[in-house]
DNA sequence: CGACATCTTGATGCGGCTCAAGGCCGGTGG
DNA sequence: CCACCGGCCTTGAGCCGCATCAAGATGTCG
């Protein structure tokens, strides 16, 4: 994995990498101007393009940085002692992966679901954000991350498979909306197996739920997308 | 709720409130000395004693602070739209409650499970921790909090009620150990209903699991405690 | 076109939810 | 001090939903 700072920002009149980034409106750089905008990419290194299935980090790595998804998407997983994996989250641009520590390094691993990039912020550089003027954004992002985890908790504590699936769709939909994308079409670069695992159910149960919802016209489900046809009705479940 | 800073620290040769606090070894003040130890209680306000059932904060309050449990214990809950509550966590001394934001204020509420106290750190004062020398402790605590949330996720994603209960016991046990208390006796100031809710199962299912485990001698369960008699066997489940 | 992964659909059994009744304990009042 | 009451927890019976096992359908890539 190649990581690269943007030392050139400010030279040749350029505002730097962040100014040109499509994800900027939902990233740390959102409200920055001029000088600050130029200095941020000097604090945060951007990854080269990760291919599908490539690890952003692995369980056991030193956990000394936060990662902001710039393009593409990631999943995180932890392996329990018995060897079975648990998908703990999906991440789309603007969201942050970080800080899941065990006694020796990270507890979870992060894998690209499609060609993706991310920006790295070392823990040691967090305070430097203050001088750039986006430390409050940083805290905001951490809060959003925590809210996302709690949402997942709520989804998992639903008793029925149907309710968990609906929770997943609506949460995902809201996140796409925050990103400024269509909220009625959910791209699914992850496999059904991953979604089922994330929702704490079996592949078959998930398939039955999607089939049932498709039949009654609530959703249209294909391999690559889930389309919400009637999100109002979904929201009542 | 009465909140009080310790402005007197440093006067009369006193090292201040934190120096005398029983929870200090697992709190922000853990490694502080002299000056720093005196200044911390000037940044963090301590609550008066909260009675059982009293709210530390409520859903809808402005979320502008972190709360460190000083004595006693708390539970947090969120109310879903349909009015049914979900217990999202239990907190013992040294653990931090914070930052669950909705569009307007907090999403969750926090209630004392027994007479309890907590210390408040305003979001605006987080940076001031740097000059006291315990900002890294603060980040450490945030990380621990996140790990705790992920643990809960893993517990909830277990398919069987039995496995979820074991997960609860072992996680609780580890937290007591970190606090320097006995790890084989789990105090249960919360009701069975709360535990069952937290574990995403019914009261009856929880009761059946505890009965079964009691019969085979794995635990001894009373109204106020759960005693782990064979945590090695439990750990294999 | 064939081989493999991925997803769907079907049949069956078990676990946990629901509803209901009974025990345990602390509190209150006579 | 005891009788009664009301939470809280336990235990039981029946049923539904999901996991499991198994086979078939669909899609993908060499």
Span A172-216, pLDDT tens digits? 999 999 999 999 999 999 999 999 999 999 999 999 999 999 999
Using a CB-CB cut-off of 8 Å, the residues of chain B touching A80 are: 154
- Site of tokens 């009149």: A13
The set of residues, in sequence order, having a beta carbon less than 8 Å from that of B186 and lying 6+ positions away, is B169, B172, B173, B176, B225, B226, B227, B228
Q: Do A154 and B80 touch (CB under 8 A)?
A: yes
pTM of the model: 0.89
Distance CA A193, CA A94 (A): 25
Distance CA A19, CA A34 (A): 9
Q: Do A153 and B157 touch (CB under 8 A)?
A: no
Q: Do A101 and B143 touch (CB under 8 A)?
A: yes
The Cα of A154 is separated from the nearest Cα of chain B by a number of Å equal to: 8
Count of CB atoms within 10 A of residue A167's CB?
Answer: 20
A130 touches chain B (CB under 8 A): yes
Sign of CA dihedral A30, A31, A36, A38: positive
User: Does residue B10 carry a pLDDT above 70?
Assistant: no
pLDDT digits (tens, 9 = 90+) for A131-144: 888 888 898 898 88
pLDDT digits (tens, 9 = 90+) for A152-171: 998 998 889 999 999 999 99
Q: How much of chain A exceeds pLDDT 90, in percent?
A: 49
Count of CB atoms within 10 A of residue B16's CB?
Answer: 20
- How much is the CA Rg of chain B, to the nearest whole Å? 19
Which tops the pLDDT comparison, A99 or A183? Answer: A183
B107 phi and psi angles, rounded to 5 deg:
-90, -25
Highest mean pLDDT among B61-65, B67-71, B106-110: B67-71
Q: How much of chain A exceeds pLDDT 70, in percent?
A: 93
pLDDT band for position B132 (cuts 50, 70, 90): confident
Sign of CA dihedral A140, A145, A149, A154: positive
pLDDT band for position A80 (cuts 50, 70, 90): low
How many Å apart are B52 CA and C24 C1'? Answer: 23
User: Does residue A88 carry a pLDDT above 80?
Assistant: yes
A226 phi and psi angles, rounded to 5 deg:
-120, 120
Distance CA B233, CA B236 (A): 5
Distance CA A66, CA A72 (A): 17
Averaged pLDDT of chain B: 88
What is the rounded average pLDDT of the residues B110-136? 90
User: Does residue A69 carry a pLDDT above 80?
Assistant: yes
User: Does residue B232 carry a pLDDT above 90?
Assistant: no
Q: Do B150 and A149 touch (CB under 8 A)?
A: yes
Which tops the pLDDT comparison, B31 or B212? Answer: B212
Distance CA B184, CA A42 (A): 50
Torsion of CA A8, A9, A11, A14, to 10 degrees: 130
User: Does residue A99 carry a pLDDT above 80?
Assistant: no
B193 touches chain A (CB under 8 A): no
pLDDT on residue B212: 93
B62 touches chain A (CB under 8 A): no
Distance CA B181, CA B174 (A): 10
User: Does residue B113 carry a pLDDT above 70?
Assistant: yes
Using a CB-CB cut-off of 8 Å, the residues of chain A touching B88 are: 150, 153-154
pLDDT band for position B104 (cuts 50, 70, 90): low
Residues 210-229 (A) near nucleic chain C, CB < 7 A: 210-211, 221, 223
pLDDT band for position B205 (cuts 50, 70, 90): very high
User: Does residue A81 carry a pLDDT above 80?
Assistant: no
Contact A57, A67 (CB under 8 A): yes
- Site of tokens 């398939």: A207
What is the rounded average pLDDT of the residues A116-137? 89
pLDDT on residue A103: 63
The Cα of B202 is separated from the nearest Cα of chain A by a number of Å equal to: 10
pLDDT band for position B234 (cuts 50, 70, 90): confident
Distance CA B235, CA B169 (A): 10
Say which nucleotide is closest to residue A202, CA to C1' distance.
D19
Whether any strand C atom is under 7 angstroms from the Cβ of A4: the reply reads no
A214 touches chain B (CB under 8 A): no
**Could you tell me which of A194, A178, A192, A183 has the C-alpha nearest to residue A222?**
A192
Using a CB-CB cut-off of 8 Å, the residues of chain B touching A135 are: 127
Among A27-36, A200-209, B76-85, the least confident range: B76-85
Is residue A232 classed as helix, strand or coil in its secondary structure? helix
What is the rounded average pLDDT of the residues A46-51? 90
Burial pattern A83-120, b for ≥16 Cβ within 10 A else e, equals: eeebbbbbbbbbbbbbbbbeeeebbbbbbbbeebbbbb
How many Å apart are A65 CA and C10 C1'? Answer: 48
pLDDT on residue A219: 93
Which tops the pLDDT comparison, B33 or B167? Answer: B167
How far is the first Cα of chain B from the last one, in angstroms, to the nearest whole number?
A: 43
């Amino acid at each position: 994995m190649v990581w690269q700072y943007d030392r050139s920002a400010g030279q040749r009149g350029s505002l730097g990498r962040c100014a040109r980034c499509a994800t900027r409106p939902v990233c740390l750089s959102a409200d920055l101007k001029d000088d600050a905008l130029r200095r941020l990419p000097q604090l945060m290194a951007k990854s080269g393009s990760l291919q599908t299935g490539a690890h952003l980090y692995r369980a056991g790595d030193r956990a000394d940085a936060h990662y902001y998804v710039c393009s593409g998407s990631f999943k995180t997983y932890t392996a329990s002692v018995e060897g079975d994996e648990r998908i703990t989250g999906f991440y789309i641009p603007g969201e942050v992966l970080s800080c899941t520590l065990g006694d020796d390094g990270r507890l979870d691993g992060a894998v690209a679901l499609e060609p993706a990039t991310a920006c790295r912020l070392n823990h040691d550089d967090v305070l430097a954000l203050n001088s750039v003027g986006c430390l409050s954004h940083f805290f905001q992002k951490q809060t959003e991350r925590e809210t996302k985890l709690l949402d997942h908790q709520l989804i998992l504590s639903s008793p029925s498979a149907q309710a968990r699936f609906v929770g997943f769709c609506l949460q995902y939909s809201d996140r796409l909306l925050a990103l400024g994308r269509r909220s009625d079409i959910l791209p699914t670069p992850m496999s059904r197996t991953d979604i089922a695992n994330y929702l704490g159910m079996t592949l078959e149960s998930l398939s039955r739920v999607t089939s049932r919802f498709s039949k009654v016209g609530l959703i249209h489900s294909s391999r690559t997308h889930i389309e919400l046809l009637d999100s109002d009705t979904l929201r009542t479940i």
